[in-house]
A and B are shown apart, each in its own frame.
Chain A
Amino acid sequence: GAGVSQTPSNKVTEKGKYVELRCDPISGHTALYWYRQSLGQGPEFLIYFQGTGAADDSGLPNDRFFAVRPEGSVSTLKIQRTERGDSAVYLCASSLTVGELFFGEGSRLTVL
């Protein structure tokens, strides 16, 4: 389809493991965002790319979290040494216009 695609939709891992979450944005959208959403909460901003570069990574909680977008399209969110507190739904969105984001359905991460 033409929407934002996120894989995997569901990921269960053990504490301490490494995880990668992938986002395939809408073709032609230059801006890409990662958010994290916990149950009953609004999306929490993590990082924003404009093209290949991270324009704002102020929401990354610590240095275990890292994201890349090497060719200005697909992005990968990487989490090292996962902790139980990292369990959440990770949302990706892309955009052409400020504030008008198109979201994927999210990747649900569970850390046991």
Chain B
Amino acid sequence: GDSVTQMEGPVTLSEEAFLTINCTYTATGYPSLFWYVQYPGEGLQLLLKATKADDKGSNKGFEATYRKETTSFHLEKGSVQVSDSAVYFCALSDNYNQGGKLIFGQGTELSVKP
């Protein structure tokens, strides 16, 4: 079945460091890919998305590019801030099956120190 695998956390960085969180996926169809973020004490919220190969999603300085050849959707940010500390979840939606559900990875906790 479809699945998402993320790099294990926690990831600890200093402010202004470069961030990469790896995400790879397995899917039978042509999925859309997402990054969701969960800030402390808050619900999950959509960070960015890409719906087809080579699309780049971006939001709040974060970017991720849909790479079909490597089945990856790595999250990057050039300069992290303390306020970026959160848990990040990679997810896919399998459009082929016309289902609405998202399949999530296990999450990667990011801690940014001043």
Chain A positions near chain B (C-beta within 8 angstroms):
3-4, 31, 33, 35, 40-45, 48, 50, 55-56, 59, 91, 93, 95, 98-106
Query: A45 contacts B102, CB within 8 Å?
Result: yes
Could you mark each residue 23-39 of chain B with 1 if its beta carbon is under 8 Å from any beta carbon of chain A, else 0?
00000000010101000
Q: Besides the contacts A3-B43, A42-B107, what 11 more A-B pairs have beta carbons closer than 8 Å? A: A43-B89, A44-B104, A45-B102, A48-B100, A91-B44, A98-B95, A99-B32, A99-B102, A100-B49, A104-B43, A105-B43
Chain B positions near chain A (C-beta within 8 angstroms):
4, 32, 34, 36, 42-46, 49, 89, 91, 93, 95, 99-107
Q: CB-CB < 8 A to A98: which residues of B?
A: 32, 93, 95, 100
Query: A42 contacts B89, CB within 8 Å?
Result: yes
Q: CB-CB < 8 A to B46: which residues of A?
A: 100-102
Query: B99 contacts A56, CB within 8 Å?
Result: yes
Query: Known: A4-B43, A99-B49, A106-B43. Is A40-B99 also a contact (CB below 8 A)?
Result: no
Query: A45 contacts B100, CB within 8 Å?
Result: no
Give the distance in Å from the alpha carbon of A100 to the alpha carbon of B4 in the complex: 17
Give the distance in Å from the alpha carbon of A82 to the alpha carbon of B2 in the complex: 29
Give the distance in Å from the alpha carbon of A43 to the alpha carbon of B106 in the complex: 8
> Which residue from A31, A45, A55, A103 sits with its C-beta under 8 Å from B45?
A103
> Which residue from A45, A103, A105, A106 sits with its C-beta under 8 Å from B101?
A45
Residue of B nearest to A93 (CB): B44
Q: CB-CB < 8 A to A104: which residues of B?
A: 43
Query: A41 contacts B100, CB within 8 Å?
Result: no
Q: CB-CB < 8 A to B103: which residues of A?
A: 45
Residue of B nearest to A41 (CB): B106
Q: CB-CB < 8 A to A44: which residues of B?
A: 104
Query: A105 contacts B102, CB within 8 Å?
Result: no
Q: CB-CB < 8 A to A105: which residues of B?
A: 42-43
Q: CB-CB < 8 A to B43: which residues of A?
A: 3-4, 91, 103-106
